[in-house]
Amino acid sequence: MSADILKKLSAHAFFEGIPPDQIERIAERSRAATFAAGQFIVKVGEAARQFYLLESGHVALEIPSSAGSLQIETLGPDDVLGWSWMIEPYLWRFDARTVEATHAIQVDGEWLRNECDANPTLGYRILKRVAEVYVDRLSAARMQLLDMYGVSRNRPGYIAPV
């Protein structure tokens, strides 16, 4: 296990409150990952077995369509890329393409999901964090739809995403 990865996982908000011994086990199943500018990290429909904690660079989340890709959000340092590893059918629901060279920590989500099943306390803590990532993505997609259809965010009754 890399001491550097352990230190980074311990400091990341996604793992806040997770006991150190469990973070050590997660670090054993994590590795540094580097991606060139314009590289796809994941594509819609691929098996989702991992997730990423972004350290540097930016990643565009895109939904492919017949009219081209719709970019729904851009992630940057300290963001989490991926929630599909935790939610059946464990397939990526978006494309993720780097905007620039990107460094991340790749975490073995499939292994962590199994650990969560075996340890309900850990599972609850991780699931709450995955839910936060999911809500962030849903809110970003909602904002893109509002922008795309010209809905004013200043109109009466508009409720901003949380």
74 within domain boundaries: yes
Q: How many domains does the chain have?
A: 1
161 within domain boundaries: no
The domain spanning residue 40 has which CATH number? 2.60.120.10
159 within domain boundaries: no
What is the extent of the structural domain holding 143? Answer: 3-148
Contact 56, 8 (CB under 8 A): no
pLDDT digits (tens, 9 = 90+) for 5-36: 999 999 998 898 899 999 999 999 999 999 99
Distances from the Cα of 11 to the Cα of 76, 102, 139, 161, angstroms: 16, 19, 26, 27
Q: What is the pTM of this model?
A: 0.84
The reported pLDDT for the residue numbered 133 is: 77
Q: Return the structure tokens found at 36.
A: 């060139």
154 within domain boundaries: no
